[in-house]
């Protein structure tokens, strides 16, 4: 089995062929299989019921696009060695390996201050040790320390295979057709000039379309007001659970979750306490949801109410605006809740959320998309596009929200 190619049925791309035994071995690793239990879009399925797809699918989809990109570039006589090919496939396959439960939702709650990309890097190094250094090249490409820069850009940049897959996939499963991108066309337009990934000039309209589709998905799906509400409610219920756990209250939790509720786990812990990574790699959406279910009948009113509201989709009402809400308004909402739900002010704080989001929460627009003109010059896409104001699109948009239990 291991030494023949394997075909996976994917509703987004049809059939995905895996040609490399080493890639199959990686997919079979428990850490990679864990991604089956982490929803790509956290709690978005409460708004878009189809959006149940997971990180496992996404990683495999991104790998599939990577294989296509490699094939296309080679047709244009861009040299990519067999080792580099394997490095690229491995790097993109593992780029999200460190994601925690519900993808982004709990990123800073369970392990405060620790970005999932940092954990991904830790896990890749550990896997590399296990495999006797087979992932060396993948790690160098991933961390951008490999000389051929365009390889890293395929893994992580404005137009990387990660983004191309997640837009296509999130759009497909949520049913939001406006997020569809013509990945196939974009892949055919890729080229490399001076070790930089570029897009042929005639692809400029596809690039504009891609950028607009991405923005569409941000506001319509990723930052949908009800999704925001659900995810911040989840943050609050876990904050409450941690408080209770540390105060010594009896509290059901799966062992992996309990570890993170009871202990203060930091960047430092991952270096000094082997249990940190071990428990982290055992943690997924199922620990959270199974625990929430039990918490519904806990004595603590804050915990049980929040757990029940999330599970039964009774979400906080949310308002968004471009300036912060007045402190008096926030205070008034909290006060009203104290009365209505017979809560202390500190308890009521769990039911009123004032925060902000921006459409750059998930993506870093630090680098540009480069266009290769017909005459060979390479220019920033924002300059080439004489119609669409890409510069405007790139602007970070912030929105403040106030979410209150209804």
Place of tokens 């051929």: 148
Q: Does 9 bind a second copy (CB under 8 A)?
A: yes
Shortest approach of a second copy to residue 175 CB, angstroms?
A: 4
| Rounded-to-integer distance, Cα 65 and Cα 71, Å | 10
Residue 33 within binding range of a second copy, rule CB under 8 A: yes
Concatenating the DSSP letter of every residue in 235-267 gives: HHHHHHHHHHHHTT------HHHHHHHHS---H
Interior/surface letters 224-249, b for 16+ CB within 10 angstroms, e for the rest: bbbbbbbbbbbbbbbebbbebbeeee
Part of the chain binding a second copy (CB under 8 A), chosen from 7-15, 89-97, 100-108, 119-127 = 7-15
Q: Does 122 bind a second copy (CB under 8 A)?
A: no
- Return the closest-CA partner of residue 188 out of 200, 204, 172: 200
In whole angstroms, the minimum distance from the beta carbon of 180 to a second copy comes to: 7
18 binds a second copy (CB under 8 A): no
The helix (H) or strand (E) run that includes residue 199 is strand 196-200
Residue pair 151/137 in contact (Cβ under 8 Å)? The answer is no
Of 115, 1, 38, 25, which Cα lies nearest the Cα of 282? 38
Query: Closest distance between a second copy and the C-beta of residue 220, in Å?
Result: 5
Q: Which stretch binds a second copy (CB under 8 A): 85-93, 145-153, 181-189, 376-384?
A: 181-189
Q: Considering beta carbons, is residue 20 or 215 the nearer one to a second copy?
A: 215
Query: What is the nearest approach in angstroms of a second copy to the Cβ of residue 177?
Result: 5
Q: Which is nearer to a second copy, 332 or 391 (CB)?
A: 391
Half-sphere exposure of 249 (CA within 13 A, CB side): 16
The answer to whether 274 contacts a second copy (rule: CB under 8 A) is no
Least Cα distance to 62 among 34, 90, 36 occurs for 90
180 touches a second copy by CB under 8 A: yes
Asked if 56 interacts with a second copy (CB under 8 A), we say yes
- Closer to a second copy by Cβ: residue 52 or 332: 52
The CB-of-142 to a second copy minimum distance in angstroms stands at 23
Beta strands in 209-338 (DSSP E): 317-321
- Hey, which residues between 321 and 340 contact a second copy (CB under 8 A)? 322
CA distances from 131 to 84, 125, 172, 380 (A): 17, 10, 35, 40
Q: How far is CA 77 from CA 71, 74, 191, 193, in A?
A: 10, 5, 9, 12
Binding residues for a second copy, how many (CB under 8 A)? 76
Enumerate residues 214-253 that contact a second copy by CB under 8 A: 215-216, 219-220, 252
Give dist(CA 7, CA 16) in Å, integer.
Answer: 6
Calculated CA dihedral for residues 61, 162, 222, 265, nearest 10 degrees: 100
Instruction: Please report how close the Cβ of residue 224 comes to a second copy at its closest, in angstroms.
Output: 10
Q: Which of 91, 167, 213, 369 binds a second copy (CB under 8 A)?
A: 213
Nearest to 279 by CA among 252, 254, 249: 254
Tell which one of 3, 15, 82, 299 touches a second copy (CB under 8 A): 15
Q: Report the nearest approach of a second copy to the CB of residue 311 (Å).
A: 7
Nearer to a second copy by C-beta: 249 or 314? 314
Nearer to a second copy, 16 or 141 (CB): 16
Span of 105-113, 143-151, 178-186, 328-336 interacting with a second copy by CB under 8 A: 178-186
């Amino acid at each position: 089995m291991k030494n023949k190619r394997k075909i996976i049925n994917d509703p987004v791309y049809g059939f995905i062929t895996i040609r490399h035994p080493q890639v199959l071995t990686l997919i079979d690793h428990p850490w990679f299989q864990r991604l089956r239990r982490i929803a790509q879009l956290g709690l978005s399925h409460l708004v878009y019921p189809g959006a149940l797809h997971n990180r496992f699918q996404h990683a495999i989809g991104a790998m599939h696009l990577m294989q296509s990109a490699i094939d296309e570039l080679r047709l244009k006589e861009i040299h990519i060695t067999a080792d580099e090919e394997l490095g690229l496939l491995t790097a993109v396959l593992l780029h999200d390996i460190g994601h925690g439960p519900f993808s982004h939702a709990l990123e800073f709650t369970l392990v405060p201050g620790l970005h999932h990309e940092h954990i991904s890097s830790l896990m890749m190094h550990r896997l590399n040790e296990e495999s006797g250094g087979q992932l060396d090249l993948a790690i160098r490409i991933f961390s951008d320390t490999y000389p051929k820069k365009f390889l890293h850009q395929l893994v992580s940049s404005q137009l990387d295979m990660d983004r191309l897959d997640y837009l296509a996939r999130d759009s497909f499963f949520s049913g939001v057709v406006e997020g569809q991108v013509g990945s196939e066309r974009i892949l055919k337009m890729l080229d490399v000039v001076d070790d930089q990934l570029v897009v042929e000039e005639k692809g400029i309209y596809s690039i504009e379309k891609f950028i607009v589709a991405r923005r569409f998905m941000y506001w319509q799906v990723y930052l949908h007001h009800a999704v925001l509400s659900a995810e911040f409610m989840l943050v609050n219920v876990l904050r409450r659970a941690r408080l209770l756990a540390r105060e010594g209250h009896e509290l059901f939790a799966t062992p992996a979750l309990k570890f993170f509720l009871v202990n203060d786990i930091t960047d430092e812990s991952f270096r000094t306490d082997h249990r940190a990574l071990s428990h982290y790699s055992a943690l997924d959406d199922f620990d959270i949801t199974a625990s929430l279910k039990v918490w519904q009948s806990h004595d603590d009113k804050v915990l049980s109410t929040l757990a029940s509201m999330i599970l039964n989709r009774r979400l906080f009402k949310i308002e968004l605006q471009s300036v912060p809400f007045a402190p008096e308004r926030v205070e008034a909402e909290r006060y009203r809740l104290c009365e209505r739900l017979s809560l202390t002010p500190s308890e009521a704080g769990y039911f009123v959320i004032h925060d902000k989001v921006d459409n750059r929460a998930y993506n870093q627009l630090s680098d540009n998309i480069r266009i290769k003109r017909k005459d060979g010059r390479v220019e920033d896409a924002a300059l080439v596009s004489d119609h669409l104001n890409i510069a405007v699109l790139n602007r970070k948009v912030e929105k403040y929200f106030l979410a209150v239990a209804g």
